[in-house]
Structure 1
Amino acid sequence: MAALFLVTLYEYSPTFYISVITLCFMVTAAMVLGWFGFDVPVILLRSDETESTLPTPEKKMVQVTNPFALELGSGPSSVREGVAVRPRCLEPCVLSCFWGCSVNALQGALQAHQRGPRLSSPRLVQEALHFQYHHCQTFFVDSGEAGEHRTRMPSELGVQDFGLLPRERYPLVAVLTLVEPETREAYNIVSSITVVHVPDKSYGLSSRSLFQYLLTAHGNMYELKPLFMSGEGAQPDPNQRAEPQAAGAPSGEPAPAPEDDHNDGGGEEDAAAVADEDKEEEEEWHDGEGEGRDCVVCQNGAINRVLLPCRHACVCDACVSRFQHCPICRSFVMESFALSQEPPPAATG
């Protein structure tokens, strides 16, 4: 019957026949691609296909207490004038500022932390860096202190910039370590390492944190990354950091070592990527700001799920299993984790 219809259609109008066959082929190809997980135009999807056939894998997380927090302070920042930093610690700490730290030396120190002695004191950090930096300045930070410390490189060193990309040295590496040995045993996280870009003549991007690592007493290393949600209200300061608090870490998985592209001075290129992200219509997620926000899907439950790898915090616990693609950026969702271990009660009304 179908063959007779196609023959009759072809005899009636060959052009219309070719159009119908082409349309059928496109619809069939779109359905096949959608079945195997490829993106297809929304107009070709049925309304019931918004539900995922498989639940989104949940990343197992453990709760650990992070005694360190570091954010950039106010005032001008440059290699000549220095930069202001504001550390906030739950216990007395030592802030060590390494100017002109070698990229290879820092990556080697991070890898050595995973294999041998933990970088839990300023002396161990200096030895792991093999003293491959221009200048080191230390500050004592009392618990609960919220003041700023301005660190600068001595002018007699004659260093005004760190050259063109790719660079062999980071402008500033700030390391926070606990003072008392018995205090170090009470926390799983023993040190915090923050790589900071400082503007100079060769690279005038404003000062900002390029990346930050937390080192644990078990030799693991975790990189802190921001969480994002759809923009509402004023854009927060991209250099702002959260207060010392409980931080989530993957359960039973050692954090991966830094990528090889950091070894060739690629951290400065990461700064340019950060600048591009600041122009996007997204806000950096800070604790406290997301409280009370509603799920972007049901507009009823409170946001409690972070989608990976895009790191968008936008859905509640009930809606996370309904989508294979992020509702914000449409990227494929590999897994997710909860902001709160106990799901918040759903809003009424």
Structure 2
Amino acid sequence: MAAVFLVTLYEYSPLFYISVVSLCFVITAAMVLGWFGFDVPVILRSSDEAESVLPAPEKRMVQVTNPFALELGSGTASVTDGVFLRPCCLEPCVLSCFWGCGVHALQGALQAHQHGPRLNTPQRFQEALHLQYNHCQSFHIGSEDREERHTEMAAEQGITDFGLLPRDRYPLVAVLTLAEPEAREAYNIVASVTVVHVPDDKYSLSARILFQHLLTHHVRQSSNNSL
């Protein structure tokens, strides 16, 4: 019917036909622009665009104070001559140095901290290692103490290297724990575990920190330094 009407209208008056078609076009365009609102309807938008418009959920940041810091000190380092460590603590601490610590023993101790009693004292950490180390040495560190500590393997052990790679023992594991019981309750971070490579005759790579673990009341945070 519409086609017949348009043909008849064109035959009747071409000028009027053009006017009617133009008017219909304008009306249709106005209706389309009004419907879209000069924007793409939500139903026609892609799912990716719709997701990008949604506000991102806010995640609350929690500030945690780390009372521990440990760096390699000056001077040369080796398994036979020892290594210098520079602790820097906000509270009085105990630095425990475990020479020749078993790799699996350390992993087991870290897992025990997650699922059992917190390893917040040198004694608890020592027990968690099940004596799987060659030598242990401890130092008391004051809150204002910035002096380097020299730790070395006991001479009577007679150990000059830890074998070829891959090894089943870390040369040195340094553990910092808070010395005062009340401080252990004041900080969420209760211990710092640092794995240090110390060069020997079989592996002469320079001394460096391999891994650092922060033991907290709830979870274990870690940071790695690649070789």
Aligning the two structures, in what range does the TM-score lie when normalised by the shorter sequence?
A: 0.7 to 0.9
Which of 1 and 2 has greater Rg?
2
Equivalent AA in structure 2 for residue 128 of structure 1: A
Amino acid at match of 2:98: F
Query: What is the rounded CA distance, in whole Å, between the counterparts of 2:207 and 2:166 in structure 1?
Result: 18
Residue 220 of structure 2 corresponds to residue 221 of structure 1: yes
What is the CA deviation profile of residues 295-320 of structure 1, one whole-angstrom value per residue up to 9, with x for unaligned ones? xxxxxxxxxxxxxxxxxxxxxxxxxx
Q: Tell me which residue corresponds to 1:111.
A: 111
Deviation at 1:155, TM superposition (A): 1.5
Q: TM-score when scaled to structure 2? A: 0.73
Give the whole-Å Cα distance in 2 for the aligned partners of 1:68 and 1:214: 9
Partners in 1 of 2:59 and 2:129 — Cα distance? 34
Matches of 1:224 and 1:175, distance apart in 2: 15
- 1:155-234 equivalent positions in 2, closer than 5 A: 155-218=155-218, 220-225=219-224
Report the Cα distance in structure 2 between the residues aligned to 1:198 and 1:57, rounded to whole angstroms. Answer: 46
Please state whether the residue corresponding to 2:64 is helix, strand or coil.
strand
The 5-angstrom pairing of residues 306-345 of structure 1 reads none
Aligned-pair CA distance for 1:61 = 3.8
Aligned residues: 175
The structure where helix makes up a greater share of residues is 2
CA positional deviation for 1:139? 0.2
CA RMSD in angstroms, aligned pairs only: 1.9
Separation in structure 2 between the aligned mates of residue 59 and residue 207 of structure 1, nearest angstrom: 39
- Could you tell me how far apart the structure 2 residues matched to 1:130 and 1:167 are? 19
1:43-75 Cα distance to aligned partner (Å, 9 max, x none): xxxxxxxxxx78999876421000000000000
8 Å contact kept, 2:210–2:224: no
Secondary structure at the aligned position of 1:68 is classed as: coil
Give the distance between the partners of 1:163 and 1:58, measured in 2 at CA: 51
Identity %: 67
SS of the residue corresponding to residue 64 of structure 1 reads coil
**d(CA) in 2 for partners of 1:94, 1:73:** 17
**TM-score, length-scaled by structure 1:** 0.48
1:202/1:56 Cα in 2 relative to 1: closer, same or farther (>3 Å)?
farther
Query: Kindly tell me: are residues 58 and 147 of structure 1, through their superposed partners in 2, closer, same or farther at Cα, counting changes over 3 Å?
Result: farther
Counterparts in 2 of 1:217 and 1:80: CA distance versus 1, 3 Å: same
Aligned position for 1:79? 79
Residue in 2 aligned with 1:65?
65
Gaps of 5+ in 1: 1-52, 227-272, 275-349
The amino acid across from 1:170 in the alignment is Y
CA distance in 1, matches of 2:214, 2:102: 19
